[in-house]
Amino acid sequence: MSVGGHPRFGQLAWENFTVSAETQVLDGCCGSGQTKQFLVQYFPDVTGLDASQRLLELARKNVLSANYVEAFAESMPFPDCQFDTSTQQGCYARNVIGPIAKNISRIIPRA
């Protein structure tokens, strides 16, 4: 199925998602910021999390308007339910889902 290439594929999950001025998004395992380039266009508060200082430096250069935190996804330094939703395209560890779910206040199911 063709959906318009990689950029379009990354946007599909966010279609029909309600955004408010208070919406907080966690971009887990954010890498160099490709997903955040899309997210900051629609969400007012985006935080990128990654364990790689080098990738976070690239992400800061690529997307100035996001927040960044250097940490492992398995042990995120956030209070429970700080975020409304999250992305985690680069998180492959099995023990990451629990910490991510703990830090978002609601999970938006795909239609």
Degrees, nearest 5: CA angle 45-88-36: 40
Please give the pLDDT value at position 111.
Answer: 37
- Range with the lowest mean pLDDT among 18-27, 71-80, 101-110? 101-110
pLDDT reported for residue 94: 54
pLDDT tens column, 53-67? 999 999 999 999 999
**For residue range 85-99, what is the model confidence (pLDDT) as tens digits?**
777 765 655 555 566
- Average pLDDT for the chain: 75
Q: What is the pLDDT of residues 40-51, one digit of tens each?
A: 888 889 999 999
CA angle 43/53/82 to nearest 5° reads: 35
